[in-house]
Structure 1
Amino acid sequence: MTDPAALDALLRLCPPPADPPPAPDWAAAEKRLGTGLPEDYKRLVEAYGDGLFDETIWLLSPEATADLSNLHEQRTERDGVLESLWLMDEEKPDGLLEEGAYVIPWAFEEGSGAFLYWLVRPGQHPDAWTLLFNEGRGPLWEPHAMRCVDFVLAVLTGTAETAYFGRLYEILKPTAHRFETTAQVIGAPGR
């Protein structure tokens, strides 16, 4: 279930694009994924589209035209990467030891290789999925019992209880927050 107050707070803190892209075809996206998606993620993508919060969190969307921010393309890539790591005996996080459990990426951190996933468990409604942060270049998997919107809001306000993003925002300390669409970032000079 979407918490309208959290989304409203995020929209006030970090204004969305004045002309967001059309809402994705959620039925087609969910069919392709083989599962439903959390409602708050859908509202987040409908408000912002795919792109970058505060030069830190890339939000993925199922209809993004760039592979970089396309939910389906990143899922395929991450599935391959994680499978390779687990074949080399890297430990899976506890939740993935459950039969039938898997992860779907919904965002990643700019520059570090760190990803934010949903932990999908058999029979569990998408709105109840746990978020998992994986540092990308190491074994850290942090579980977060919160929704996507709540997590992004906590990161942007510096209140996220996470080993990674807490340190990042202590360094950055942004005074104003911004969201850039993937098209704005890819087309930006020096990127």
Structure 2
Amino acid sequence: MRRTAPAGIDWAQAEAGLGTGLPSDYKLLAETYPPLVFADFLAVGFPPAGREKAWAEDPDDLEIIAEWCEDAETATPLYPFPAPGGLLPWATSFQGDYFLWTTNETGPDTWTVTVASRNGVWWHYTAGAVQFMADLVSGSLQPWALPPVRPTVRAVEPN
């Protein structure tokens, strides 16, 4: 499942297309593993080598996040990226949930995770995406409005 050589993703092109850097743990994961699926629930994708610009400029998820932010009944207003503190998707579930980075001006390695459940529940995790995945799969994280995730992981071969 682990790559035998780094993926060769042009991170400068992906980040230029997004208009922001990305967390170093996510980039290391992407270089080391192909896209992953955890327990047939959580799908984590990465920029495909050679198609980084198209990956970064795909607006579909951000449009959905913008709608969800408008409808969110939270104490603090939520906004999609590129707004300051905006939410940037990094994974989805097969049930329609979104896993987002809560961006900040300090930089990508300090971003935390926000979960947007398809049933309208929002919650925050005070660490990064890779730690979130590890805690979710290990069972040490209370999944709130998500189903429990069994510790099975499979790599998804790119098309």
- Please confirm whether the aligned pair reaches a TM-score higher than 0.5, indicating the same fold: yes
Find out whether 1:124 has 2:106 as its counterpart: yes
Does 30-39 or 139-148 show the bigger shift? 139-148
**Separation in structure 2 between the aligned mates of residue 77 and residue 54 of structure 1, nearest angstrom:** 25
1:179 Cα deviation after fit: 1.8
Match of 2:24 among 12, 19, 39: 39
TM-superposition CA deviations, 1:10-68 (whole Å, max 9, x none): xxxxxx335466231111111111001101111111111223123222112122799xx
Equivalent residue for 1:114, pick from 68, 83, 97: 97
Which residue of structure 2 lines up, in the alignment, with residue 30 of structure 1? 15
1:50 maps to 35
Q: Secondary structure at the match of 2:63?
A: helix
Q: Is the 8 A contact 2:113 2:129 kept in 1?
A: yes
> Scaled by the length of structure 1, what TM-score is found?
0.68
Q: Number of aligned pairs?
A: 153
Q: 1:104 aligns with which of 88, 109, 113?
A: 88
Structure 1: tracts of 5 or more residues without a match: 1-15, 187-191
Matches within 5 A, 1:170-185: 173-174=150-151, 177-183=152-158
1:1-191 to structure 2, matched below 5 A, reads 16-19=1-4, 22-63=7-48, 72=56, 76-86=59-69, 89-91=70-72, 93=74, 94=76, 96=78, 100-110=84-94, 112-121=95-104, 123-135=105-117, 137-165=118-146, 167-169=147-149, 173-174=150-151, 177-183=152-158
8 A Cα contact 2:100 2:113, kept in partner: yes
> Structure 2 vs 1, CA of residues 43 and 140 (structure 1 numbering), >3 Å: closer, same or farther?
same
Q: Distance in 1 between matches of 2:119 and 2:50?
A: 29
Matched residue type, 1:146: A
User: Identity of counterpart residues, as a percentage?
Assistant: 25
Structure 2 residue matching 1:96: 3-state secondary structure: coil
Any idea what SS the aligned residue of 2:67 has? helix
Give the TM-score, by structure 2 length: 0.79
**Considering only CA atoms, is the larger Rg found in Structure 1 or Structure 2?**
1
Q: Which amino acid aligns with 1:76?
A: P
Cα RMSD for the two superposed structures? 2.8
More helix by share: 1
**Aligned-pair CA distance for 1:182:** 4.2
Whole-angstrom distance in 1 between the partners of 2:37 and 2:68: 27
Structure 2: which 5+ residue stretches go unaligned? none
Does structure 1 retain, via aligned residues, the 8 Å contact 2:9–2:50?
A: no
